[in-house]
Structure 1
Amino acid sequence: MRVIAGIHRSRKLLGPPDAERTRPMPDHVREALFNLLRGHTEGVAVVDAFAGTGSVGIEALSRGATQCLFVERDREIAAILKQNIETLGLEEAATVVVGDALGPGALARCPRPVHLVFFDPPYRLITEEEQRPRVLEQFERIAALLDPDGFAVLRTPWPLEISRGADPEALAYLRFESLDGPETHVYGTMAVHLYAPKRTSAVDED
């Protein structure tokens, strides 16, 4: 893994010891994602939930973000994350919470407001119906902290079983009352879904 762009461009990052523990976003997907977010990294606050070894949040810091909260529950993976942060000299801009991204502690430590939220849960938490609601509820809670021009990004496997049919409501569970979106971009076996705070029209305000 490497940093794609910014002040730490081309710097190598340590990855996880095995693919079973965490699955970092591939370089080409991370590059495509940040191209979509061009102009939204300079001078902003970021949350990288289910951070793994930190490639997404570190990419944001390299591109000009001023602070990033990383949340990772696996202590060994979090130690690698901290090593990547230290290697690049990002300690002052980075806060690492070793804990559950679905717990109240993660929510309590989030910057207010935040401009970019990256939410990359283990795929099974999305595909298992009994797990999915708590993931999506926490995503919406953290996304509620976005500033008016911010974005929240959710990564999921693709295709989702529920996405195979032609029913226009097939992806209903990926929609939120408080957010506009998703704008879905598919990269092979994964997709990233972009959301923005729902804008209130002048008519609604009246």
Structure 2
Amino acid sequence: MAFCFSSRWEEFNKTHRITITTLFVILLLLILTLVFLLQYVFQDRPQTRQPLLIHLNSFSVSNFSITTSALEVEWKAHLTFENRDDEFEIFIMPFEAYLYYNDVFGVSCASVAESIQLKERRQKEFMIKFKPSGCLGKLPPLEEKVFQQIREDREKNSIVHLDLQMNLRFQEFQKGVAKWNLSINATCYDINVSFVSATDGKYMEGVRKCYIPW
């Protein structure tokens, strides 16, 4: 009787150990699968891959005219939008762009009505034209002291310091299927426009990479 009980107890222990081992292996496989999936998703995110690059190729100003209460000028920014991803297309929707003087004072705007489509490993050059009429209701009015400061920069230093900000919304597609939707504010900092005459000027420091806060 004792031998029979001992045999059954050993068999129970053996079965119990096999069950625990099986459950441990299954749990380990589930953890490894979850880690792999999380790693894949994280690496696949646009914030990780950072597929979009924007370069400021040139910047110019023409017909510059300023008074104590108005700034009449045409600004032109020549940019390159580049998709450096070899798996996803990028589709940038129509967007707004703003010019800021000395980092904080909005001086001009532009509404870009054309969308930008970038195939894998492709780039596209794009021109943005800024006019005062594009800012109606979009930026607060400038104070007289700001106009005075811009005039002094142009007359004394022949340089006006600007930043260009673009409020972008874009999607990423893989084989025609939308996978990601992002909204970012890309900025081309430190655009020092040098005046070559009283009304015309341009940016002369070469191609500049614009900052994208992924």
| Greater strand proportion | 2
TM-score range, shorter chain: under 0.3
Q: TM-score, normalised by structure 2?
A: 0.27
Q: TM-score, normalised by structure 1?
A: 0.28
